[in-house]
Structure 1
């Protein structure tokens, strides 16, 4: 048995750590996870001679647990899936990975385990086991990157340019200034020099760094430049494939792909270490503590988020690349012709960059605000402010949403 497998096993939760509310009403999961946790805890005392029938039985039970909870997750709408079901599914996936590695730890087997790990993160809830998740990720990715020999570009530092900006600009405001000038009056504002200390500002321009840290992860990618178009679709793909297709510098025509509104930093803790949660997200109208949703937006030039609004306060931080942004106030909502469907109810039918006043005449009286988001810029957008976003160059943005 490999020493590294034994070290990974030590990071797995003991049964006493996961028993309680999570398993109180699930006798089936409680029995299986107790068997698995107890076996892994005593793993260093097992001999690996191929005749461990106990391991074979537990392996079978874990697979059944994963399958059952996969079915529960895929029954009905995902938002209605309970947190215990997602946590049990993730735990089952972790144990399944360990038992597969006990069987064999070849590159092919690790690729198979990588896919299971991504399923655990995309469908399950893995917040309670970050150290285990990170260690599994590093082991499974070890040496696999070496097979990927195609070099990606290092994006140059771009000199800041002067552009039209129809909203206030503030240089590194204090928390009190942000509260009084932006948050309380619901005033969209361009915040300057607030993220220069992020390691991401230098690291992420080297796309080979992103390839090495994140290349083996599977993520949902939008196909097409605009999610409101009929040609738009989504696929689960490896980040390495996405990076090579969209950033390899080749000139031939290719379909635009976009990693958009994805919780990439929960999936890849090493990338989260490259950014900082802005203090501005702590400003709230009351003393309640709410979570901050952190989303990633990575794509080539030409990606478009059509005119839409979000229900929360939003800080859009630009790491590399530039984006044209057009804003409109919630007061003009009816003049922006929102889609009638439930899915697109927060999205306008108009093309804000090229108004068709014959089809949408009310848009003529809308007050639009234009600006250009450049590396190091942070755009504050209050709840329900409409915004259109188009990437003018290859771009990586991080958004922070809070109540």
Structure 2
């Protein structure tokens, strides 16, 4: 273990505590511990005690102080974790999310003091994923400083051995994936090359007609830079949520937090298991990737501001499936790596698509699009559809409420933009 106050960097040298400490207020009273909402009275004394430990010494915390700070971090995170999971996420008070973020911050600083920068990065990521911004988004600034000190990770060559006792998720497809379906001319989604804003608005946005846009993303840096190697180098040490299983309607489907490197080694390189990185915060969490993409100009035709646009990442192996479902916003699906087979149905056909009756899955069809049970779902044959093979460099416009089914034909990375 490295001495307190030093973390291993890219060259093996210490990351000075002063570099991390400079991200925080100079004096203890500057770290205000302001919370946007009510929390239980026992929490503030714990936060103040952790703050006092942090400022108790002019240099980095010694081993005893770092250990005590780590224990307080555990208590704060465990206690707020229970609150985060006690009610539906949209009902969680911002104050409790801030408590969780402070717990992650104090824990990360304790790990830095103990010479464990990777553990500190993981705690920062947990705070970014589940907490709320505190101290001018200090967790993002801290993880950026730490990541610069860590060696760049190289992609694994071949699959890694599994953890003993871990049950693998088997692919639902056979060893040889089925060939891409043939897209018949009468069902093909039309293509346009860089239409004007007015043409797109009048002929596709207002009448709610799907279209594939060519040439719009040719200038995006991701088209030249992104690869498995690049993701390992830029984000290998970062912790992200991963969906395990081929589709979210499967009984064995679950979610797990892991590093990008572990995801690639276990679910990209390993042909015996399926995992999918479907992330709604990836580009905020890892801004280096956000710099490689652009919001399509056509989003300016919407009613909201740029900050209202939700950018999602979809990264996974061939064979992963998004079951037929609909979303409440307009969607631009931009394909960066690999190909996807996509089928669209109009919202006017909703009754023929047999949505789930449960509230959780009411926006998802019960029908397996490529292998429908027509005895159970006889009206499915009445629903007309359009389809395409979405290629790298193409953007598919999916109008609001349009039903869409997506199957990755190979290793794929897509970016979707939800806008109103």
TM-score bracket for the superposition, by shorter chain length: 0.7 to 0.9
Q: Secondary structure at the match of 1:355?
A: coil
In structure 1, list runs of 5 or more residues that go unmatched. Answer: 154-160
Looking at structure 2, the residues matched to 47 and 184 of structure 1 have their Cα atoms a distance apart, in angstroms, of 60
Mapped contact 2:327–2:402 kept (Cα < 8 A): yes
- In structure 2, relative to structure 1, the CA distance for the partners of 1:272 and 1:327 (3 Å cut) is same
Mapped contact 1:211–1:239 kept (Cα < 8 A): yes
Per the alignment, residue 359 of structure 2 pairs with: 342
Q: Secondary structure at the match of 1:274?
A: coil
Q: Secondary structure at the match of 2:323?
A: strand
Mapped contact 1:62–1:92 kept (Cα < 8 A): yes
Please report the TM-score for the alignment, with normalisation by the length of structure 1. Answer: 0.83
Mapped contact 1:12–1:132 kept (Cα < 8 A): no
Per the alignment, residue 183 of structure 1 pairs with: 205
The superposition leaves residues 145-179 of structure 1 with CA deviations (integer Å, 9 ceiling, x where unpaired) of 45x573489xxxxxxx9985623322112333332
Looking at structure 2, the residues matched to 195 and 127 of structure 1 have their Cα atoms a distance apart, in angstroms, of 35
Counterpart mapping for 1:1-400 below 5 A: 1-2=5-6, 4-12=16-24, 16=30, 22=36, 33=47, 45-46=58-59, 61-102=72-113, 104-105=114-115, 109-126=116-133, 129-130=136-137, 132-139=139-146, 142-143=149-150, 145=152, 150-151=156-157, 166-205=188-227, 207-248=228-269, 253-284=271-302, 286=303, 291-400=308-417
Looking at structure 2, the residues matched to 235 and 59 of structure 1 have their Cα atoms a distance apart, in angstroms, of 24
The offset of 1:283, in angstroms, is: 1.9
Looking at structure 1, the residues matched to 299 and 95 of structure 2 have their Cα atoms a distance apart, in angstroms, of 28
- In structure 2, relative to structure 1, the CA distance for the partners of 1:24 and 1:349 (3 Å cut) is closer
Looking at structure 1, the residues matched to 40 and 264 of structure 2 have their Cα atoms a distance apart, in angstroms, of 42
Please report the TM-score for the alignment, with normalisation by the length of structure 2. Answer: 0.80
Looking at structure 2, the residues matched to 42 and 282 of structure 1 have their Cα atoms a distance apart, in angstroms, of 51
Task: Provide the aligned length of Structure 1 versus Structure 2.
Answer: 383
Mapped contact 1:221–1:258 kept (Cα < 8 A): yes
- 303-312 or 30-39, which deviates more: 30-39
Looking at structure 1, the residues matched to 35 and 257 of structure 2 have their Cα atoms a distance apart, in angstroms, of 33
Looking at structure 2, the residues matched to 182 and 174 of structure 1 have their Cα atoms a distance apart, in angstroms, of 11
The offset of 1:63, in angstroms, is: 4.2
Mapped contact 2:20–2:142 kept (Cα < 8 A): yes
- 12-21 or 86-95, which deviates more: 12-21
Looking at structure 2, the residues matched to 50 and 243 of structure 1 have their Cα atoms a distance apart, in angstroms, of 35
Pick the structure with more helix per residue. Answer: 1
Mapped contact 1:152–1:208 kept (Cα < 8 A): no
Mapped contact 2:355–2:365 kept (Cα < 8 A): yes
In structure 2, list runs of 5 or more residues that go unmatched. Answer: 7-14, 160-181
Looking at structure 1, the residues matched to 36 and 25 of structure 2 have their Cα atoms a distance apart, in angstroms, of 13
The offset of 1:189, in angstroms, is: 1.5
Looking at structure 2, the residues matched to 283 and 127 of structure 1 have their Cα atoms a distance apart, in angstroms, of 33
Looking at structure 2, the residues matched to 51 and 313 of structure 1 have their Cα atoms a distance apart, in angstroms, of 54
Looking at structure 1, the residues matched to 112 and 60 of structure 2 have their Cα atoms a distance apart, in angstroms, of 15
Q: Secondary structure at the match of 2:132?
A: coil
The offset of 1:30, in angstroms, is: 5.2
- In structure 2, relative to structure 1, the CA distance for the partners of 1:275 and 1:230 (3 Å cut) is same
Q: Secondary structure at the match of 1:213?
A: helix
The offset of 1:276, in angstroms, is: 1.5
